[in-house]
Amino acid sequence: MSKEKFITLQSTAVPLAVENIDTDQIIPARFLKATTREGFGENLFRDWRYDVDGKPKAEFVLNKSTFSGKILVAGKNFGCGSSREHAAWALYDYGFRVIISSFFADIFKNNALNNALLPVQVSDAFLKNIFSAIEKNPSAIIEVNLENQFVKLPDGAKESFEINPYKKACMINGYDDIDYLLSLNSEIKEFDLTQ
């Protein structure tokens, strides 16, 4: 089934300089009760965003009007912990299309790529540059170019990132894995019989 296509994005970014952000923080388990994919953005970072009474916490970055955009920039080992794809759905539903970090947990990376959310891994040093660029100027426009695989800051600083060619093609064309797997149906059937 086709998904939103991703080629390049220019946007302001939201900085969240915390390491080891696990999927329980991205979306706590008690909000996983829905049986559809939509609506999880409401509870994105729920317990960091709201206090126990549901009041927004002013100091959390998503509640600061200074920062907005389709890019989330986060500390290393983003998306560790639970395999819940709801984390990717919540980030996407909230409006993010790119997550930049210096390291991603494996399952999260797959989940994101399967949901038109691009995980971009940059070096620790470049991540620092991004954070300071946003800090200096919250309306700094960051370019994430998937086609040519680079991230560019307003001052021209650039770093390239890696992505598997197959996944890149899926993102650019809006394909998903099942389309490919379904095309192999008869080969898989034969394989199943030998098991």
Closer CB to another protein, 33 or 58, in the complex: 33
CB of 67 to another protein, least distance (A): 18
Shortest approach of another protein to residue 55 CB, angstroms? 13
Give contact residues for another protein (rule: CB under 8 A).
1, 17-20, 22, 24-25, 28-30, 32-37, 47, 52, 75-77, 80-86, 88, 103, 105-107, 110-111, 114-115, 124, 164-166, 176-178, 180-182, 184-185, 187-188, 191-192, 195
Shorter beta-carbon distance to another protein: residue 11 or 75: 75
Q: CB-wise, 7 or 188, nearer to another protein?
A: 188
Rounded to whole angstroms, how far apart are CA atoms 4 and 71? Answer: 16
Measured from the CB atom, the residue of 10 and 39 that comes closer to another protein is 39
Q: Minimum distance between the CB of residue 29 and another protein, rounded to whole angstroms?
A: 4
